[in-house]
Structure 1
């Protein structure tokens, strides 16, 4: 496995991929199996390898890569070269979650486990593109925000459809003090 110009050195390299599809049950307390899709999360790779005590410099170099940040102080984004990553269509990754180092005394080595998360996944890129297109369409259409008091705009924007009906009924049955005062005078 390669991360940019860095090659992982060790033995017993194992790379496992995970694709999380978030869903939510729509059945409530029933036996229904209907589910709502909440989105596809970025893929991740769980990496495991063994580095011998003799090659402790390889472990130090790997930890240095995991801790590395760019000029803005954000975790480094790595171009990845690995068969599992390629088959899952993962091109760029960042170190994520825990980086575990466990001694294996009988082998005079360490077992290293860490997670690499996909950077700018395909669903994430699609979502960003859709948001950009929506913003461009709104500015191209020249949509203007309706003039009015801030209270009026906030009042109508914060109500759901049912709450708007209730607000209308409430206003009809018990008008505001200002409206009532106008009606009396």
Structure 2
């Protein structure tokens, strides 16, 4: 397995992939099996390998990779080269959750376990694209609305938007005597 330019060194490398599909029961206290989908979460790879005491530098190097951060102080994103990752369509990962190092009794070696979570998963990219498109549609779908009514420029400046609506309603229901002298009887 390679993470950017770093090659994992050790033996008994095992990589397991996990895809979590979040659902919630809609049945409440009934026996209904209906479920609501809450989304597809980023995929994760659980990695296990053995590093001998003689190769302690390999463990130190791996820990440095796990702790590394970018210029913004965020965990480093790694391009991954691994058969399981390729089969699961995972291209980029970050170290996530626990990084466990356990001494193997009687073997002068450590069992190392850690989790790599997919970075910018396909469902996440789709969700971001949808949010961007929605925001663009909302900001680009407005046109200037022409004012209605026969207000003079002076009246338009003295009324707020809500007051203008009230004035239009008032004029429609009970016109001023000056505007419509025939309405007074």
Give the TM-score normalised by the residue count of structure 2: 0.77
For structure 1, the 5+ residue unaligned runs are 149-185
Residue 55 of structure 2 aligns to a residue whose secondary structure is: helix
CA RMSD of aligned residues (A): 1.5
Q: What is the CA–CA distance in structure 1 between the aligned matches of 2:143 and 2:52, rounded to whole Å? A: 64
Tell me the CA shift for residue 117 of structure 1.
0.3
Q: What is the CA–CA distance in structure 2 between the aligned matches of 1:53 and 1:114, rounded to whole Å? A: 19
Q: What is the CA–CA distance in structure 2 between the aligned matches of 1:74 and 1:26, rounded to whole Å? A: 37
Tell me the CA shift for residue 142 of structure 1.
1.7
Which residue in 2 is equivalent to 1:122? 122
1:75-90 alignment, distance < 5 Å: 75-90=75-90
Cα-to-partner distance string for 1:31-73 (whole Å, 9 max, x where unaligned): 1100000000000000000000000000000000000000000
What is the count of residue pairs matched by the alignment? 147
Residue 69 of structure 2 aligns to a residue whose secondary structure is: coil
Question: In the alignment, does 2:29 pair up with 1:22?
Answer: no
For structure 2, the 5+ residue unaligned runs are 145-160, 163-185
Q: What is the CA–CA distance in structure 1 between the aligned matches of 2:6 and 2:56, rounded to whole Å? A: 16
Alpha-carbon spacing, 1:32–1:115, altered in 2? closer, same or farther (3 Å): same
Residue 107 of structure 1 aligns to a residue whose secondary structure is: coil
More helix by share: 1
The list of structure 1 runs, each at least 4 consecutive aligned residues, that deviate by more than 6 angstroms after superposition, is none
1:34-183 alignment, distance < 5 Å: 34-142=34-142
Tell me the CA shift for residue 139 of structure 1.
1.2
Cα-to-partner distance string for 1:126-183 (whole Å, 9 max, x where unaligned): 0000000001111110279xx66xxxxxxxxxxxxxxxxxxxxxxxxxxxxxxxxxxx
Cα-to-partner distance string for 1:60-99 (whole Å, 9 max, x where unaligned): 0000000000000000000000000010100000000000
- Bigger Rg, structure 1 or 2: 2
Tell me the CA shift for residue 8 of structure 1.
0.1
